Amino acid sequence: MLESRLYRETVAAAEAFHARKLWREFANDDSFAVAVPGEEHPLFASIMGQAGEEFGLLLLRGPEALACLMDLLDRDPQDRDLSDKAAFLSFSMGRYDETPPFGRSFLAKARFVGRGSSIVPCFMVVDAGRQPRAPSRGEVEKLLYALKGILKAIDAGMLTRAPLRPGKETPTLVIGGDPLDPEVSMEFRRFSATGARTGALSAMSPRDLSGLPRLPACWLIGCPILPVSIANDDRTVRMALVVEDGSGLILVGDPVQGGVPEALERICDAFHGENTQKTRGIPEEVLVANRELFNALWPVLDPLGVQCRYEPALPLLDQVLHSLGEWCDGSEAEAELACEESDAVPAADHLEGWKSCDSRLCRRAQARLARQGGAPDRAISRYFGDIETGEALLQDAEDVFPCMCFFEWLWLDYRATKKSMTLAETMLAGPLPRAERLLLETRLKAIPSVFKVQSIQKGASLGLLDVLFGGEATLHDKALSESAVEDMSFPARVFPAGDFHFASPLGPPLSALDVDAAIDWLEYCGMKLTSQGTRAKAHVFGRLWDWMEERRAEGPPQIAANMDGEKLCFCTATYAARDEDTARSAIAAREDIEWDEDDDTYVWERQKGREPGALIGDSLTLGTLRFLGDELLLEVNSVERLKRARTWLDHIPGIAFHTVRSRSLEDALRAAPPPDDQIRKEVPMTPELVAHIRDMMHQHYIQWLDTPLPILGGKTPREACATTEGKQRVARIIRTMPKPMGPADADVDVPRQEMLKALGLEDTR
């Protein structure tokens, strides 16, 4: 089954399961076992929704699944804390805009489209003591088996209400065959619920508490799961939380990843004085909100005469947790920034100081974004064009550049609604260190554009040319200077920072062959190439990722025509040479023939000024003629040139036409000599030759200004500049011209400023 179909079928099965409203037929303890292919132990199923919320299906898994299910069924309804020992597959129904990112990713794979208020299934897997995650392909198939099999069993009357009783025979659905139409049978098996009950922690021996003074106080103790994660660590994060009743003082508030056992150790440390008040002793009363923690503390505190009670609902504890919401939502990064920040603005020439400020500003924006729940799917779809493309690029661990560009657009440009403020605007509206505020203001003032790399100082900086609006800048970016190549371009904001310039990238790097076509595509997508236009459509830069992928799939461009626009066809005409001396004299006498003495070859060429076409050098070569034995060979690269050559060559005395052999471009490429055979002896570069090459190239570029171009509808660049749109087009072509290839010693470049000045072109902002 294709992955997309598997995910679609599973979403459809979950919706069908929900539509049956089975919570009206099955109580919480009407649980049963489900055996599916690929799962070592039977799953223990509980249909959710009896409380009027969290509608769906819970499938506890593993050798201790039954014990964990019994814990869930036995606990107080107000106790929503899940044991770290529980492992399960599940789906539940909820609003699309409240679905976590991994749940939306699942729906995207199923090609599901929903609005923020749509009620959709969220599929989740939790491993013991780990963060929730998306199911793997194999786990999706198990969910599909379970959903289809349960409904089929109910329809067949196999499954009826029966309270779960450990040690008694438990109805067990055995499911197999095709997951889309599974085979289902019923068996009755006996299962044990020993091993994972929360009371197992009571055998622990925390630090000795005897001899500690008694405190006239009441401590509220909890061990809630925090909605945070640690980089490269998927363990569940809890908080060992101790609050003094009455005063509301937080005595302990430490994150732990070792589950309730580690929280127990931290609480016992608090009895020994390791708390915010440095108070050593045991309070007269202890109320515990976590049952697993209570089961561990009560056997220790009760013999000491301490009133220890299990209270799943403690409003003061909930208030403290709410007040710690910013920390729980990921603002630890901002807490670190608070320790680093300074209101001092670095000296203008202090590069490291400005780099540090910019780094802190970006980290602050990332922390704010994390507290808001991360990037919404709407933003991903708007920037990349569709959610699937965006998620694939953002999850590519080998290339983080798309993620960097998306983040820069997200916090600087994205608005949830037309009237919403961007994240950057909300940051400016609040308190910010002066240097960070200055950097953010200049970042927002910078105009989104396309910048071309003109020069590189490895490990330090790049020389940039603004392709759309003109102007140059030196970008101080070590990473880019080590990865960029000359003549590549990339969309970005370039903004000042003291005496330096930094970049806020907005899209993929573009080769010299891609950049002009990419800018045309941006215009096609509705981006006006003005300062206001690129601001308003900055998200379109992100869609260049998909455009580049499609362009690569088309393969590299092929040269299919010669300089006259004629289809390439390599033709060799053979003439019988009856009187070679007479023929040579007649051919050499023509004005459009040059004799190459070194190769004994006659070059048929067209002089500049007589006909359009020659773009480089003093003439355009049309063909070559060479005497070999008693034959004359004519070689041209189009059928049209062959016809033109024969109009005069057939009348040359001393030769007679014999035959023609033609080869297409594809045939010629297949017959090309090996690379080693194509190497020619290098010509030594003398100062005179270097000067000649530079003068020749300079003359070519200046003459280009008055050369009719197909890309300009047959107009010359000078003629095209009669309109504002034409000026922008010509200026862009000049700025994107790649540096010409040639001998390294010649170091030839395009005289862009001279060409722009000759056309009267200024910055087009």
What the block records as the tokens of 87 is 């492992």
Of all residues in the chain, the percent with pLDDT exceeding 90 is 38
C-beta separation of 55 from 119 below 8 A: no
C-beta separation of 90 from 58 below 8 A: yes
What the block records as the tokens of 498 is 């003291």
Residue 14 and residue 141 in one domain = yes
The CA distance from 749 to 739, in Å, is 5
What the block records as the tokens of 391 is 């998620």
Q: What's the rounded mean pLDDT across residues 191-210?
A: 55
Range from 29-43, 94-108, 281-295, 619-633 carrying the lowest mean pLDDT:
94-108
Q: Residue 63 falls within a domain, yes or no?
A: yes
Output the pLDDT for position 498. 93
Q: Which residues neighbour 464 within 8 Å (Cβ) at sequence distance 6 or greater? A: 451, 452, 453, 454, 472, 473, 474, 475, 494, 501
Q: What's the rounded mean pLDDT across residues 412-431?
A: 88
Mean pLDDT, the chain, rounded, equals 83
Token pair 């300009």 is found at 712
The values of phi and psi at residue 106, to 5°, are -60, -50
Q: What share of the chain is helix, strand, coil (3-state, %, to 5)?
A: 40, 25, 40
* Residue 328 pLDDT class (50, 70, 90 cuts): very low
Output the pLDDT for position 678. 42
Q: Choose between 570 and 665: higher pLDDT.
A: 570
Token pair 């990843």 is found at 257
Q: Residue 434 falls within a domain, yes or no?
A: no
Amino acid at position 522, single letter: L
Range from 203-212, 221-230, 298-307, 714-723 carrying the lowest mean pLDDT:
203-212
Q: Residue 352 falls within a domain, yes or no?
A: no
Q: What's the rounded mean pLDDT across residues 150-177?
A: 86
Q: Choose between 392 and 207: higher pLDDT.
A: 392
In three-state secondary structure terms, 322 is: helix
* Residue 80 pLDDT class (50, 70, 90 cuts): low
Residue 727 and residue 589 in one domain = no
* Residue 232 pLDDT class (50, 70, 90 cuts): low
Question: For 28-38, how does the pLDDT look when each residue is reduced to its tens digit (9 = 90+)?
Answer: 778 899 999 99
Question: For 98-115, how does the pLDDT look when each residue is reduced to its tens digit (9 = 90+)?
Answer: 788 888 888 888 877 666
Question: For 331-345, how does the pLDDT look when each residue is reduced to its tens digit (9 = 90+)?
Answer: 444 444 444 455 688
Q: Which long-range contacts (CB under 8 A, 24 or more apart) does 427-435 make?
A: 427/364, 427/365, 427/368, 432/364, 433/341, 433/342, 433/343, 433/357, 433/360, 434/343, 434/344, 434/345, 435/342, 435/343, 435/344, 435/345, 435/346, 435/353, 435/354, 435/357
Output the pLDDT for position 508. 93
Highest-confidence range of 151-165, 393-407, 512-526, by mean pLDDT? 512-526
Q: What's the rounded mean pLDDT across residues 577-583?
A: 93
The CA distance from 62 to 53, in Å, is 26
* Residue 541 pLDDT class (50, 70, 90 cuts): very high
* Residue 675 pLDDT class (50, 70, 90 cuts): very low
Output the pLDDT for position 237. 84
CATH of the domain at 295: 3.30.420.10
**How distant is the alpha carbon of residue 290 from its chain centre?**
40
Residue 670 and residue 705 in one domain = no
Output the pLDDT for position 607. 65
Which of 678, 712, 740 is the C-terminal boundary of a domain?
678
Residue 686, pLDDT > 80, answer no
Residue 663 and residue 702 in one domain = no
Residue 172 and residue 213 in one domain = no
Q: Which residues neighbour 530 within 8 Å (Cβ) at sequence distance 6 or greater? A: 764, 765
Residue 397, pLDDT > 80, answer no
Provide the angle, in degrees to the nearest 10, between the axes of the packed helices 377-384 and 387-394: 90
C-beta separation of 344 from 350 below 8 A: no
- List, in sequence order, every residue forming a beta bridge with 726; answer none if it has no partner: none
Output the pLDDT for position 77. 61
In three-state secondary structure terms, 377 is: helix
Token pair 């697993």 is found at 292
What the block records as the tokens of 37 is 């292919």
Q: Residue 426 falls within a domain, yes or no?
A: no
Output the pLDDT for position 70. 83
What the block records as the tokens of 256 is 């732990």
Q: What's the rounded mean pLDDT across residues 625-652?
A: 93
Question: For 483-518, how does the pLDDT look when each residue is reduced to its tens digit (9 = 90+)?
Answer: 888 889 999 999 999 999 999 999 999 988 888 889
Q: What's the rounded mean pLDDT across residues 629-633?
A: 91
The upper half-sphere exposure of residue 122, i.e. CA atoms within 13 Å in the direction of its Cβ, equals: 21
Token pair 């036995």 is found at 74
Token pair 């223990």 is found at 44
The CA distance from 50 to 26, in Å, is 8
DSSP assigned state of 510: B
C-beta separation of 186 from 172 below 8 A: yes
- Cβ neighbourhood burial of 114 (10 Å; 0-12, 13-18, 19+): middle
Q: Choose between 206 and 368: higher pLDDT.
A: 368
Question: H or E element: which one contains 215?
Answer: strand 214-222
Q: What's the rounded mean pLDDT across residues 114-133?
A: 84
Which of 136, 169, 190 is the C-terminal boundary of a domain?
190
The values of phi and psi at residue 313, to 5°, are -115, 105
What the block records as the tokens of 376 is 């919404």
**3-class DSSP string for 643-700:** HHHHHHHCCCCCEEEEEEEEEEHHHHHHCCCCHHHHCCCCCCCCHHHHHHHHHHHHHH
Q: How many domains does the chain have?
A: 5
DSSP assigned state of 277: T
Q: Residue 155 falls within a domain, yes or no?
A: yes
Provide the angle, in degrees to the nearest 10, between the axes of the packed helices 515-524 and 544-553: 120
Q: Print burial letters for 144-160: b (CB count within 10 Å at least 16), e (below 16).
A: bbbbbbbbbbbeeeebe
Q: CA distances (Å), 44 to each of 39, 65, 346, 530, 657, in order? A: 12, 6, 62, 62, 91
**Beta-sheet strand order (sheet of 500-505):** 472-475, 461-466, 449-457, 489-497, 500-505
Residue 326, pLDDT > 80, answer no
Residue 202, pLDDT > 50, answer no
Q: Residue 341 falls within a domain, yes or no?
A: no
Which of 522, 553, 584 is the C-terminal boundary of a domain?
553
Residue 658 and residue 716 in one domain = no
Residue 538 and residue 392 in one domain = yes
Question: H or E element: which one contains 489?
Answer: strand 489-497
What the block records as the tokens of 476 is 């101080």
Output the pLDDT for position 50. 77
Q: CA distances (Å), 82 to each of 49, 66, 394, 575, 627, in order? A: 17, 14, 31, 93, 93
Q: Residue 343 falls within a domain, yes or no?
A: no
The full length of the chain comes to 765
Q: What's the rounded mean pLDDT across residues 238-257?
A: 88
Output the pLDDT for position 544. 94
Residue 696 and residue 582 in one domain = no
Q: What's the rounded mean pLDDT across residues 203-217?
A: 75
DSSP assigned state of 565: S
> Given the DSSP bridges, would you call strands 282-288 and 307-310 parallel, antiparallel or unpaired?
parallel
C-beta separation of 32 from 45 below 8 A: yes
Residue 56 and residue 176 in one domain = yes
Q: What's the rounded mean pLDDT across residues 267-281?
A: 91
What the block records as the tokens of 575 is 């003439």
Question: H or E element: which one contains 388?
Answer: helix 387-394
Question: For 556-570, how does the pLDDT look when each residue is reduced to its tens digit (9 = 90+)?
Answer: 555 667 777 788 889
Residue 627 and residue 672 in one domain = yes
Residue 63 and residue 152 in one domain = yes
Provide the angle, in degrees to the nearest 10, between the axes of the packed helices 3-19 and 101-109: 110
The CA distance from 463 to 457, in Å, is 8
Residue 623 and residue 585 in one domain = yes
The CA distance from 593 to 573, in Å, is 17
Of 259, 202, 201, the closest CA to residue 82 belongs to 259
Q: Which residues neighbour 269 within 8 Å (Cβ) at sequence distance 6 or greater? A: 207
Q: Residue 423 falls within a domain, yes or no?
A: no
Q: Choose between 682 and 117: higher pLDDT.
A: 117
C-beta separation of 537 from 527 below 8 A: yes
Question: For 723-753, how does the pLDDT look when each residue is reduced to its tens digit (9 = 90+)?
Answer: 888 888 888 888 877 777 655 555 667 788 8
Containing domain of residue 737, as a range?
687-758
Residue 3, pLDDT > 70, answer yes
